[in-house]
A and B are shown apart, each in its own frame.
Chain A
Amino acid sequence: MKKTALMFSLLMIASMILSACGGAAGGNTIPVGGIGELTGDIPAVGASFKNAAEMAVQEVNDAGGLEVGGKKYKIEFFIEDNAGKADQSASAAQKLITQQNVVAIIGPNASRYAIPASEIAESSKVVLITPWSTNPKTTLDANTNQPKKYVFRACFIDPFQGRVVAKFALDNLKATKAAVLYDVASDYNKGIAEFFKQTYEENGGQVVAFETYTTGDKDFTAQLTKIKEAQPEVIFLPNYYSEVPLQIQQAHRLGITAPFLGSDSWGSGELLSLCGSDCEGYYFSTHYAPDNATPVAKKFIDAYKAKYGSTPDDVAALTYDAFGLLWQSLQTAGKVDRQAVRDALAQIPKYEGVTGTMSFKEGSGDPIKSAVILQIKGGKFVFFANAAP
Chain B
Amino acid sequence: MIYILQQSLNALQLGSIYALIALGYTMVYGILTMINFAHGDLFMVGAFFCFIGATYLKLPFVPTLLFSMLGVGLLGVVIERLAYRPLRQAPRVSAVITALGVGIFLESVVLVIYPYPQHIPTLIPNVTWNVGGITVSSLQVIIVLLSIALLVMLDFIVRRTMVGMAMRAISWDRTVVPLMGVPVNLVISATFFIGTSLGAAAGTMYALAFPVIDPYMGILIGWKAFICAVVGGIGNIRGAMIGGFILGIVEIMVAAYLPSTYRDFIAFTLLLVLLVFRPYGILGKPRPQKV
Interface residues of A (CB under 8 A from B): 39, 41, 43-44, 184, 211-214, 216, 218-219, 221-223, 225-226, 229, 242-243, 245-246, 249-250, 252-255, 270, 273-274, 276
Given A212-B260, A255-B130, CB of A270 within 8 Å of CB of B220? no
Given A44-B116, A221-B13, A225-B3, CB of A255 within 8 Å of CB of B214? no
Chain B residues within an 8 Å CB radius of A221 = 10, 13-14, 252
A221 to B267, CA, bound (A): 17
Given A44-B116, A211-B260, A270-B117, CB of A222 within 8 Å of CB of B7? yes
Identify which of residues 247-276 in chain B touch chain A, using a CB-to-CB cut-off of 8 Å.
251-253, 255-256, 259-261, 263-264
Q: Nearest Cβ distance between residue A266 and chain B, in whole angstroms?
A: 14
| Contact-residue bracket for chain B | 35 or more
Q: DSSP majority for the A interface? A: helix
Q: What's the A-B contact tally at a CB cutoff of 8 Å? A: 86
Chain A residues within an 8 Å CB radius of B135 = 253-255
Scoring B117, B206, B264 by chain A CB atoms within 10 A of each residue's CB, the highest score goes to: B117
Chain A residue with Cβ nearest B137: A253
Q: Nearest Cβ distance between residue B220 and chain A, in whole angstroms?
A: 5
A-B contact pairs, 8 of them (CB 8 A): A184-B261, A218-B217, A225-B256, A249-B211, A253-B140, A270-B116, A270-B117, A274-B119
Given A41-B214, A226-B255, A226-B256, CB of A214 within 8 Å of CB of B264? yes
Would you list the 7 A-B pairs with minimal beta carbon distance, nearest first? A222-B255, A218-B210, A221-B10, A255-B135, A253-B137, A274-B119, A222-B252
A250 to B217, CA, bound (A): 18
Indicate if B115 sits at the interface (CB-CB under 8 A). yes
Chain A residues within an 8 Å CB radius of B116 = 43-44, 270
A184 to B255, CA, bound (A): 13
Chain B residues within an 8 Å CB radius of A216 = 216-217, 220
Scoring A44, A184, A221, A242 by chain B CB atoms within 10 A of each residue's CB, the highest score goes to: A221
Residue contact A212 to B212, C-beta cutoff 8 Å = no
Chain A residues within an 8 Å CB radius of B140 = 253
Interface residues of B (CB under 8 A from A): 3, 6-7, 10, 13-14, 111, 115-117, 119, 122, 126, 128, 130, 135, 137, 139-140, 206, 209-212, 214, 216-217, 220, 251-253, 255-256, 259-261, 263-264
Q: Nearest Cβ distance between residue A147 and chain B, in whole angstroms?
A: 30
A223 to B263, CA, bound (A): 11
A273 to B116, CA, bound (A): 12
A229 to B220, CA, bound (A): 29
Scoring A44, A219, A229, A274 by chain B CB atoms within 10 A of each residue's CB, the highest score goes to: A219
A255 to B130, CA, bound (A): 9
A175 to B104, CA, bound (A): 47
Residue contact B128 to A255, C-beta cutoff 8 Å = yes
A276 to B211, CA, bound (A): 11
Chain A residues within an 8 Å CB radius of B210 = 218-219, 246, 250
Q: List 9 other contacts, CB 8 Å, given A43-B115, A242-B212.
A: A212-B261, A218-B210, A222-B263, A225-B3, A226-B255, A242-B214, A249-B211, A250-B210, A274-B119
Q: Nearest Cβ distance between residue B214 and chain A, in whole angstroms?
A: 7
A250 to B253, CA, bound (A): 17
Chain A residues within an 8 Å CB radius of B256 = 222, 225-226
Residue contact A39 to B126, C-beta cutoff 8 Å = no
Chain A residues within an 8 Å CB radius of B139 = 253
Chain B residues within an 8 Å CB radius of A249 = 211
Residue contact B117 to A218, C-beta cutoff 8 Å = no
Q: Nearest Cβ distance between residue B291 and chain A, in whole angstroms?
A: 40
A89 to B13, CA, bound (A): 37
Residue contact B260 to A213, C-beta cutoff 8 Å = yes
A347 to B130, CA, bound (A): 60
Chain A residue with Cβ nearest B111: A39
A242 to B217, CA, bound (A): 12
Chain B residues within an 8 Å CB radius of A222 = 7, 10, 251-253, 255-256, 260, 263
Scoring B6, B10, B137, B255 by chain A CB atoms within 10 A of each residue's CB, the highest score goes to: B255
